[in-house]
Structure 1
Amino acid sequence: MEVSVELTLRIGCLLALIAACNVAALKLRLPDALTLTAAGIVLGTVYLLAGEYAPAFTARAIEPLLSPSLAPDGYLWLFLPPILFQAALEADAAALARDLLPILVLAIGAVFAATLMVGLTAHFVTGASLAVCLLVGAIVSTTDPSAVIELFRSSGVPARMVRLVEGESLLNDAAAIALASHLTARIVGDPGAAMNGSVLGDVFGSLLAGGVLGGLAGLLLARVCRAIPHAPLSRFSLSLALPSLLYPIADLWLHVSGVVTVVAAGLTAGTLLRRSSLPAEHEPFRDLWRHTGGMAAGMVFLLAAMHVPGMLRELRAPDLFLILAVLVAALLSRWAVLGCSLPLLSRIGMCAPLPRAHRLVITWGGVRGPVTLVLALCAARAPELPVEARHMASVVAVGFVLANLVCNGLTLRAVVRRLGVAD
């Protein structure tokens, strides 16, 4: 009974906080990601201070509301599938296909480049194990451009820029999660849990297999929904069940990318349902999914950010220099991929040119978010990892996310105006 009451209280408080953060973001003209992260950090700080100075009161009155007791990887299993599925439902699959090559360069090439450059930088600065430093690089390599897309659209940037960042966000989580899992398995000496053969080949194989599986699942969902056009609750319930079932089936049982499987299902189902449904039927469906995805994203931001104060308690002065070095390395790696690969591809006729100013804005828009925080939490709480790996994950990765959100997130609108890329 007490567990049920605590769960009910937590869900109610989270929803109320999400509503308050959304209102604050609208009033202050800030991305939701920033207000949600700030609220989560404040709550985590309150929880720590209350537990230290009033432990009995905290255990009785505050812990049921604020204790971020969910296992770190639980955030991925619970919240990532609906977030990805909603984003894929909204995306224009045909438009993404026209820019598939540059999207893959951003989603996979930029992840590998950031992992390598951040890992080498951390290794040079600290002298820590290269494998551990590469793990930190993989953790901070994935971007969460939900706030960036919101700023892009409100600033009137060209649709192609929005499309590239949107496509990147759908796929780069898969590469980052696969890399982090592989490196973790290598560090702890569990080759059976690591990928076999070349890392790049295994990542692409996992992505391809997940894409096929997700496409078939999306096709099945669209056909079932077309067969029940006058049952909107059933259509939405089936679509809500699909990503939650697909992610663990793909990841745990079939050993393919759960992220790509869910994304491919959302792209396929969204495209087919838009073609076969009347606007009056499809719009309520899209609205329900927009709210569902928004609430899931808000919850994972809040819950992950609540861990931040506890993880930063071990922050030392040398860590500040390392965080700065990692920030610079991540930015340079992203610019290297955008500044070298895309001009080369356009020169040989494999993609349309992207102006230099647009590349600079996309580089600066590489804002990190909840997936990076969750991967850092998973590493920080993995007892099998060496102490240096847990420390770097808990301090460097989390400090990186906060600095990146504040520095890039708050200045992106000004960068867009300064470079004159708005239509």
Structure 2
Amino acid sequence: MVEGHVIVAVVIAVIMLVGRGLGRGFGIPAAIPLVLLGLAASFVPGMGKAAVPPDVILTLYLPPLVYRAAFLTAPRETKEDAVPISVMAFGLTCVTALAVMAAVRLAVPQIGWPVALALGAAVAPTDPVAATSVMKRLGAPRRLVTILEGESLVNDAVALTLFGLALTAITEPVTLSEGGLMLVRIVAGGVLYGLVLGWVVARLRGRITDNGAQIVVSLITPFVAYLPAEHFGFSGVLATITTGFYLGVRAHGLLQPSSRLTGDAFWEVLVLLLESSLFVLLGLEIRQVLNGVTDYSFATLAGTALIVLAVVVLMRLAWTMAVFPLAKWLPGRHLSFDGIGRAQRLVMGWAGMRGAITLAVALSIPLTVPNRPLLIFLAAVVVMATLIGQATTLAALLRRFGLGETQESVIEEAKARQATVEAALSRLDHLASEGEVDEHTAGVFRQLLELRLDTVRAILDEDDDEDGTSPDSGTRGLRRQLAHAQREKLDELYSKGKISAATQRHLIHELDLEDRRRASGSH
């Protein structure tokens, strides 16, 4: 029994490696070969053991996925664009879920309203990974990336709250007033619990110096957020997102550089494994799903799938082109919408791919829910169609409107590098003037920093051509102070809105790498 499960796990791991390799080789989203290879593997005897119980899917996959997304959210940019993000995440998600519910109910009348809402909630949230990876590679305006990432984080919570209400309504009737009170309790309880847990974990992690222990704490945190919240009738997703966001904002002050590097590497691999295995599991389940929809004619299946896909795609395009601009009239202080023109809105509308979250929700539908195979089939069609049709054409759309040629991120990063090196030079001069560092040592480090500064000035077309070398030095205390000065400068630049969270995180990552190299070289 144990050997069989191990063999299945190895097969899934091989499929993930091959599938991702094929995706890179053919320049297509990795999800496509992963699903196809999973389908092929379903014909191998014994692979039926790979089926994961529906109630395990949300518990196992959802907490770490949404926690990591929340942890990496850019706080200042998200706050500045809170209105456009909210218009997309709350308004569009609810409208899409309700529109899909109505469309499915119309196409397949025997499906009840709560079951149709469960499907609508599953396909409503977007997965920005494919879209933002293309945008970042082409240098698209960062504000578009921020809005898409912020929307995806919030709409996960909105959609999953609707999904929970739909499942409750399937088992027991719920009046409108009862549903409203339940919604308030679910949302308020989840957010409050997430804040309390974030505060506790922040203080705990601030006292831990061992890298391994930090990873263990970070791994169990999303489950400690999700499971108790769900047990007490709150939103586990909102609790997990709130905890992740709370800790992500304070990550630079909580963790040592080596802990950040180790944690980033661990979570990057974990998220890759979770997302990839979800697509493989979908492929493995396709045969069973197809066997479960044999009661429906091909015309019904194809027609319903096309209707749901059309609602999902066209509703988003209509929302970004017609409804989204109206948000500028909403009360309150928020960034101007003038910088988001028709071309940007069209890209936002087309960047509505569905992915891992939709699959996790669809596969988590309980076995007792009527028409479960049909719901999974329709969700799978939406995911695959949007990945094939939208993800593969997004780059061409960006180039068509000239949105992929900006050097904004390059210039921003160069300016941030210049400011951090200048901060380190200023700290070095101060230390030398106070007699804490001798002139010879100060001169060595000054040459190293000025060499870096010259490189940055060359990028910014500043003519400053001084020669310098970078000799090694064993003065680790001085190195730490200079690195600390650079991190402080990055925090200052970010807090003043001079650089984005992505630039801040990237440069801090480089400083962390330098700290690790020096630490490993000292042993």
TM-score (norm. length: structure 1)? 0.85
Distance 2:277 2:235 in 1: 23
How far, CA to CA, are the matches of 1:258 and 1:16 in structure 2?
A: 32
How far does residue 236 in structure 1 lie from its aligned partner after superposition? 0.8
Give the aligned partner of residue 363 of structure 1. 349
Q: 1:97 aligns with which of 65, 79, 82?
A: 79
Q: Distance in 1 between matches of 2:334 and 2:223?
A: 36
4+ long deviations beyond 6 Å? none
CA distance in 2 between counterparts of 1:175 and 1:319 reads 28
Is 1:156 aligned with 2:139? yes
Give the counterpart of 1:9 among 7, 17, 27.
7
Distance in structure 2 (CA, Å) of the matches to 1:106 and 1:37: 29
* 2:271 matched residue in structure 1: 293
Counting matched residue pairs gives: 396
When residues 204 and 98 of structure 1 are mapped into structure 2, their CA distance, relative to the original with a 3 A threshold, is farther
Superimposed CA distance per residue, residues 98-132 of structure 1 (whole angstroms, 9 cap, x where no aligned partner): 22232222222222111222222233334445614
Is 1:140 matched up with 2:123? yes
- State whether residues 33 and 301 of structure 1, in contact with CA within 8 Å, keep that contact through their aligned partners in structure 2: yes
Deviations along 1:380-421, one digit per CA (max 9) or x if unpaired, are x533x44xx435314333333322222222222222222332
In our comparison, the structure showing a higher alpha carbon Rg is 2
- Equivalent in 173, 178, 193 of residue 161 of structure 2: 178
Query: Which has a greater percent of helix?
Result: 1
Cα drift, residue 308 of structure 1? 2.1
5+ long unaligned stretches in structure 1: 48-57
Query: Which residue identity is paired with 2:214?
Result: R
Question: How far 1:320 sits from its partner (Å)?
Answer: 0.8
In 2, Cα distance between the equivalents of 1:170 and 1:195?
Answer: 29
Which residue of the partner structure matches residue 382 of structure 1? 367
The equivalent of 2:39 in structure 1 is 41
CA distance in 1, matches of 2:323, 2:252: 34
- Kindly tell me: are residues 28 and 219 of structure 1, through their superposed partners in 2, closer, same or farther at Cα, counting changes over 3 Å? farther
State the alpha-carbon separation in 2 of the partners of residues 25 and 159 from structure 1. 26
Corresponding residue for 1:53? none
- In the TM superposition, what are the counterparts of 1:264-343 in structure 2 within 5 Å? 264-313=242-291, 314=293, 316-343=298-325
Report SS of the residue matched to 2:50: coil
Q: Please report the RMSD computed on the Cα atoms of aligned residues, expressed in angstroms.
A: 2.5
Moved more, 146-155 or 340-349: 340-349
User: In the alignment, residue 163 of structure 1 is paired with which amino acid?
Assistant: T
What is the CA–CA distance in structure 1 between the aligned matches of 2:345 and 2:299, rounded to whole Å? Answer: 34
Q: Conserved in 2, the CA contact under 8 Å of 1:175 and 1:203?
A: no
Corresponding residue number in structure 2 for 1:224: 204
Query: Aligned to 1:30, what secondary structure does the other structure show?
Result: coil
d(CA) in 1 for partners of 2:156 and 2:217? 24
Which residue is equivalent to 2:225?
A: 246
Residue in structure 1 matched with residue 392 of structure 2 by the alignment:
410
Q: Which of residues 28, 31, 39 is equivalent to 2:26?
A: 28
TM-score by structure 2 length?
0.69
Once the 2 structures are TM-superposed, how far is the Cα of residue 232 of structure 1 from its aligned partner?
0.6
CA distance in 2, matches of 1:200, 1:286: 39
Q: Distance in 2 between matches of 1:29 and 1:227?
A: 45
Query: Residue 83 of structure 1 corresponds to which residue in structure 2?
Result: 65
Change (3 A) 1:31 1:396: closer
Q: Amino acid of the residue matched to residue 206 of structure 2?
A: R
SS in 2 for 1:420: coil
The aligned counterpart of 1:68 is: 50
Deviations 1:309-354, CA, capped at 9 Å, x for gaps: 3213436222212211211111222233323443122244644312
